[in-house]
């Protein structure tokens, strides 16, 4: 339990990724990403469809729930959204090309399978790792070479 099939793509793979977590829990928000390369491939396979809709199919309830408003395709940009599972069991997160949440290309594009639990098992956490915050630190804060980097930048 708490194990997920996560696909992270650097080239077009027609898959989406879900933020890495040691457990995926009901009520916790996770970032879902359709990488830019995949978005371009999927958009090209559905000419005229310039948006994406994302769905959460629960194998327990057998319901397919629309996750968020449609996301507009922007060339070269990842498509991201927040997903908060509302029930336990296996979930399939999918992306489809769409005009709106109710009219979409007949083919399902990209997916990720996630096992959701009520609470994290012992030794695991529901929380995804913190997102790096693009710091503005100084070169002197880097051990060993910080002083060298600082002296080089000071010589400009």
Q: What is the pLDDT of residues 94-152, one digit of tens each?
A: 888 776 556 666 556 678 899 999 999 999 999 887 765 554 544 444 444 445 445 54
Query: CA 29 to CA 19: how far, in whole Å?
Result: 9
Name which of 78, 82, 79, 88 is nearest 67 in CA terms: 82
Mean pLDDT of 84-101: 85
Higher pLDDT, 21 or 14: 21
Mean pLDDT of 84-98: 90
50, two tokens? 């310039």
pLDDT of residue 69: 74
Neighbour count for residue 156 (Cβ, 10 Å): 4
* Residues composing the chain: 156
Query: pTM here?
Result: 0.70
Instruction: Work out the pLDDT band at 44, boundaries 50, 70, 90.
Output: confident
Mean pLDDT of 23-51: 87
């Amino acid at each position: 339990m708490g194990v997920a099939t996560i696909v992270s793509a650097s080239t077009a793979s027609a898959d989406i990724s879900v933020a890495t977590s040691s457990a995926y829990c009901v009520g916790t928000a996770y970032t879902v990403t359709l990488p830019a390369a995949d978005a371009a491939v999927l958009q090209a396979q559905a000419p005229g469809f310039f948006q994406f809709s994302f769905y959460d199919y629960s194998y327990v309830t057998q319901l397919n729930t629309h996750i968020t408003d449609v996301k507009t395709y922007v060339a070269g940009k990842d498509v991201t959204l927040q997903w908060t599972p509302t029930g336990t069991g296996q979930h399939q997160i999918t992306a489809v090309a769409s005009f709106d949440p109710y009219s979409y290309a007949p083919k399902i594009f990209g997916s990720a399978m996630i096992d959701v639990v009520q609470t994290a098992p012992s030794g695991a956490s529901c929380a995804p790792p913190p997102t790096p915050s693009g710091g503005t630190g100084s070169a002197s804060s880097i051990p060993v070479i910080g002083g060298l980097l600082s002296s080089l930048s000071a010589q400009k």
